[in-house]
Amino acid sequence: MKHAIRVRGLTKRYGEVQAVAGLDLDIEHGEVFAVLGPNGAGKSTTVEILEGYRKRDAGEVTVLGQDPARPTREWRSRIGIVLQTADDRAELTVRETLRHFAAYYADPRDPDELMEQVGLTESAGKRIRQLSGGQRRRVDVALGVIGRPELLFLDEPTTGFDPEARRRFWELIEGLAHDGTTIVLTTHYLEEAERLADRVAVVARGRVVAEGDPATLGGRASAKARVSWSDGELETDNPTAAVLELSRRYDGEIPALSVARPTLEDVYLRLIDSADPPAGGVPETAVTIGSAS
C-alpha cells in the first residue's frame, strides 16, 4: 500500500445539504495528519466514512488497503478510534476497563504497561466516574491503542482540557507517532495541529481547499512579514532591511518593535473565507459537528 488512506471524489449529502463535495485526500503511513475546518465543513462526516461508521454516496475510499464500507474483523482490529464522546463504563476501574477491552484482541498491549505509558498507573484502582476529564481522556486514548492499531483516529481529543493537561496529552501522541502509528487528528486548536501534525488539510464547504506542512500551508513561509512599532506598521518581503531603516530613524532602539509572518490561524481564516461553495450552492452552517458535519 502506497498510502495509509486514499480518497478520491468523496461525496455525501444529507437531504438538500451537500456535506462532502468531491473531496480528495492522501495520508501516508506513519504520519500525523490533521484535518482542520469550521463547523459544517464536512470534516467529521469525512472521518466517519474513513472509520467505517458512515456510508458515502460516491467516490473511492481506501483505508489500509480496504474499503471501509465493507469492513472485515481483521481490518477493524488494525484501526483505533478515540471518539469525541464515549461510553466509559463508569463503574469499572481503569484497570478493569483496559483488561476487559484487551481481551477482544489477539495481540493486545499489556494493560499495566499501557497505564504507565498514558500516565494512569496511580489511578489504576479508581472507578472511571472518579476520574478528572483529562484522566478520562487518557483512558479513551488507552482504549484506542490497546489493540496495537496501525491507524489511530482522534476526534477533538483535547476539548475541555486545561493548558497543562493538553500539553501532556500532546507528549503522549508524539510518543505514539514516534512508534510508527499513523494518526488522523481533527481539532479546532490550531496550536495543537501545528505542534503535532506532519501535514494538515483545511476543509471548507465539503472540499480540501489547502494541504501541506503547517509551516508552509497556503504560502505562509513566503508571505510578507508584518513589521510594526509604536508609530506604525508595514508589510514587506525584506523585514531585515526595514528594521535597519527603522533603527537609523530612531537612532538605535525601535519602540515596541514586532516582526511576524502570518500565523497558521491567519492562513486558516483566509482559506476558509475564500473557499467557493460547490456548484448548486450549499448552506454554510447547515451541518454541525457531532451530527452530520
What pLDDT digit, counting tens, does each position of 234-247 carry? 888 888 898 998 99
List CB contacts of 180: < 8 A, sequence separation 6 or more: 30
- List C-alpha distances in Å: 178 to 30, 32, 171, 192, 195: 8, 10, 10, 17, 14
Q: Is 182 strand, coil or helix?
A: strand
Q: What's the confidence (pLDDT) of residue 152?
A: 95
Joined together, the cell numbers standing for residue 263 give 500565523
Q: What's the confidence (pLDDT) of residue 281?
A: 43
- What are the strands, taking DSSP E only, across 16-120? 17-27, 32-36, 58-63, 79-82
Joined together, the cell numbers standing for residue 260 give 511576524
* Helix (H), strand (E) at residue 174: helix 163-178
- What are the strands, taking DSSP E only, across 140-289? 151-155, 182-186, 199-204, 207-212, 225-229, 232-236, 258-260
Q: What's the confidence (pLDDT) of residue 106?
A: 85
Q: Look at residue 97 and tell me whether its pLDDT is greater than 80.
A: yes
Q: Which residue has the higher pLDDT, 87 or 288?
A: 87
Q: Is 78 strand, coil or helix?
A: coil
Q: pLDDT tier at 276 (50, 70, 90 boundaries)?
A: low
Least confident of 1-15, 60-74, 208-222: 208-222
Percent of the chain with pLDDT over 70: 91
Q: pLDDT tier at 33 (50, 70, 90 boundaries)?
A: very high
Q: What's the confidence (pLDDT) of residue 167?
A: 83
DSSP sequence for 100-166: HHHTTSSSPPPHHHHHHHTT-GGGTTSBGGGS-HHHHHHHHHHHHHTT--SEEEEESTTTT--HHHH
Q: In the sheet where 32-36 sits, what is the strand order?
A: 79-82, 151-155, 182-186, 32-36, 199-204, 207-212
Q: What's the confidence (pLDDT) of residue 1?
A: 63
Least confident of 89-98, 125-134, 178-187, 274-283: 274-283
**pTM of the predicted model as reported, rounded to 2 decimal places:** 0.79
List CB contacts of 220: < 8 A, sequence separation 6 or more: 261, 262, 264, 266, 267
Q: Which structural domains are found in the chain, ordered by start?
A: 1-78+181-221+262-282 (3.40.50.300), 224-260 (no CATH)
